Amino acid sequence: MTVKINVMAGAAAAAVAASALFSLPGIASAAAHLEGQTYAEVTGVIAQEGGTAIIATRVGDRLPLSKCIVTGVSKSTFVRPPVVQAVPGRDGRYGRQGVRYRVVSNEYRLSLNCNAPAATANTPGNSAASPEGREAKREQQAQE
């Protein structure tokens, strides 16, 4: 009887721990508020938080980098090996002594859209049927 209770209590504890683990927000959602802004704005925010922005993907070449729209952000944590210079040991052989790996957790990978705000006959960009394209067309017509 006590064995059965202990097994059930252990299973219940494991279920609670698993549900707590899977209910945590993902790493990518921590930076989701940065999507839709320009590269210049996003890199400023990331720098203020002590992070480093790295371009993961880039689509298009019609806009300067600072005006590209950030379409995706992911914050990754990984282990990076250090750059170590080999030093001669006592026996004259070269070896790496005291190598320590470092954990990198302040890098943000950015996906950029550098196409024009709205497509024309000569330049690629957002479709006039998309919400972004409709907004760009409205802004363009308001300026004319």
Model confidence pLDDT, tens digit, residues 53-79: 999 999 988 899 999 999 999 988 878
Please tell me the distance from the alpha carbon of residue 84 to that of residue 88, in angstroms, as a whole number: 13
Average pLDDT for 109-131: 86
Over 60: is that where the pLDDT of 138 sits?
yes
**For residues 59 and 114, is the Cβ–Cβ distance under 8 A?**
yes
- The answer to whether residue 10 is domain-embedded is no
Q: Which residues contact 111 (CB under 8 A, 6 or more apart)?
A: 56, 57, 58, 59, 70, 71, 72, 73
Residue 49 main-chain phi, psi, to 5 deg: -85, 0
Whole-model pTM?
0.60
Total number of domains constituting the chain: 1
- The answer to whether residue 48 is domain-embedded is yes
Q: How confident is the model at residue 83 (pLDDT cuts 50, 70, 90)?
A: low
- The answer to whether residue 15 is domain-embedded is no
- The answer to whether residue 70 is domain-embedded is yes
State the residue range of the domain holding 57. Answer: 25-81+100-143
- The answer to whether residue 89 is domain-embedded is no
Query: Which token pair is 133?
Result: 């394209």
- The answer to whether residue 9 is domain-embedded is no
Model confidence pLDDT, tens digit, residues 20-65: 444 334 334 456 789 989 999 999 999 999 999 999 999 988 899 9
Please tell me the distance from the alpha carbon of residue 94 to that of residue 89, in angstroms, as a whole number: 6
- The answer to whether residue 136 is domain-embedded is yes
- The answer to whether residue 34 is domain-embedded is yes
